[in-house]
Structure 1
Amino acid sequence: MSLSFELLATDGLARRGRIATAHGTVETPAFMPVGTAGTVKAMMPQSVAETGAEIVLGNTYHLMLRPGAERVAALGGLHKFMNWPRAILTDSGGFQVMSLKELRKIDRDGVTFRSPIDGIQHRLTPERSIQIQHLLDADITMSFDECTPWPVEKEDAARSMRLSMDWAGRGKHAFVDRPGYGLFGIVQGSTFPDLREESAKALTAIGFDGYAVGGLAVGEGQELMFQTLETTVPLLPADRPRYLMGVGRPSDIVGAVRRGIDMFDCVMPTRAGRTAQAFTRRGELNLRNARHRDDPRPIDERCGCPACRHHSRAYLHHLIRSEEILGPMLLTWHNLHYYQDIMRGLRAAIETQSFGHWIAAFEQEQGRGDLPPL
């Protein structure tokens, strides 16, 4: 009776599906806006929903430090706390903890680290990570893992992966199975095909509601990332959702869907919006550039977001140059809307068996570049 996944259509390796959670359905392929600390930066919850997002991502590490998982639980859970009634996936906190370097110490049982906020020491184990995510009331809980760095020697990648597989088994044992809730395992092994295979076999033997591919988009480049997906994804159960963590740019997402991935998350569209960058059908724009200061056209004439429907490039350029907070807000909304447009297009193309034509049109339009200056 846990979280369920229905495969509705395929076109080549690309998949069109539906995930049923305790807080609603998620149509796949799906992009999850990142709401690390209980908020998608520069966006109201209803604004996130208006882009078409059906699920957002929260983070165990950040929420355990502030305001605290027990406090969130006492206040009704993360859905109520952040006013997001739809599905939530929580990252286990492994990536953030591993990035602390001098502030953390890892052993077979878990990780001890000092909070960069107040210096207080914390202990995060696979069981504690699962418990925190339960307190947050995450619809989709992620296994606690060690995110393998890049570049990495094969021996170190193997040690890291096997530790994560041990933690995955412990996390599965600690997970409380409830209707509409699920636990995902995370495939590790860097870019080594045999290690990825070993990891996938270990996870499928344990048994999870979904499977994530972790340890990519960490510097290996798109070509090697795609090669790793090509060897890894076929090893994962076809009747479970597949999630590529921390990816990415539009071309990354489209290429990964082409290789059988169903779910994505990335800070890129929101971070770009806060730094004057806009993603469009014709590529990326920098609204800080002077070429936009007299341009009455929208960012993207085919976009239905508020920034494109109501404001000119000239106005957005003015907001950015004047350091007005409305500028990052509008650009973030635009970027998230465009990412959801991509997902809507992908789903429709797979349903109608026109995925190849959709990709060709997408790549052609992206290659055209921005409109010439007026």
Structure 2
Amino acid sequence: MSNLFPTYQRWSIQPLEAKGAWMTSTENKKYLDFTSGIGVLNLGHRHQKIEEAVIEQLNKYWHISNLFPQSIQEEVAKLLCDASGLDYVFFANSGAEANEAAIKLARKATGRSKIVTCLQSFHGRTFATMAATGQEKVRNGYGKMLESFSYCAFNHVEDLYKNVDEETAAIMIEIVQGEGGVHPATEEFLQAVQSVAKKFGALLIVDEIQTGIGRTGKTFAFQHFQIKPDIITVAKGLGNGLPIGAMLGRKEWKEVFGPGSHGSTFGGNPVSLAAAKAVLSIVTSKDFLEGVIDKGEYMKSELQNRLKGQSTIKEVRGLGLMIGIELTEQAAPYLEALQKEGLLTLVAGPNVLRLLPPLTVTREEMDCAISKICEILIHFEKTALTS
């Protein structure tokens, strides 16, 4: 009997230890981990530099509260601002908290309440971020949602224009919809978002919770496009496994988030920030990011070429090392079959296999995963045809 609320559909695999791109279960089976903790372990399990930074901070102090100035907060904030082009940072504990802060800042800065997001988006599970999420299944059962959220179709310019008006405080978007099926935004759509936001005086919030910190081959995914967000949110990969989130904003909003306007007891925890500092020192390197782009292009093209012509495959798409394989049927059986072969993957919606390998993945590890994926997908199709 478990004393845990059954909020998660847990797998039957229980981890014992992990290093790099590999995890060993309590049954002593090795798995190639292409989930990265759902896009968290961008530098793999137990990266040496991050582990050393965390241990060093643990030997100093673990928590002191935000009543005290802390140099580690200033250092990481500067790294984030330098990498993003924004000016100020608020530290939280998760992506949902970062998005909560972004929603609060946008509404307070503009004096408006309406937030426009996209259908099939995912922004979190608190009441505000649940209301921001463009998936009805996330909101079911919780009664009346926080008001003033509106949803437009992703990559649909005309629908965007129908939803934004003089009452809009912000437009909140993902550059790649992760939970929604690994759908990258188009240049046309993003330019339209920026243009209409400027026209109506609304803020542009880019949710980089899953796409940020190098996942797409840029420090932030918006940097692939010619747009300038007013607010960015990050989490997941920032701490490489330690809980942290951050909301970044322009200098114009400094006074809006003055003393007493917002807060978090654990936000800006020094141990998590020690990990974040080490992460950023690695991920923001030009050579590292170019390597991510090369790996992503290799993996996507190999999958596209080897799965070409398979009737169960609709599309292989993605950006950097954020790849989705859309199927014509349910993805869950394929995920389970891959687990039996020692490869851990994810689903994104009912029909998409989602691949989020660590950004440090090697060519040999990618080839191993590609072979397993192709073998399973082709085997399933042959089995279906002959049954």
Same fold judged by TM-score > 0.5?
no
TM-score, normalized by length of structure 2?
0.31
Q: Normalization by structure 1: what TM-score?
A: 0.32
With a CA cutoff of 8 Å and minimum separation of 6, indicate the structure with the bigger relative contact order.
Answer: 2
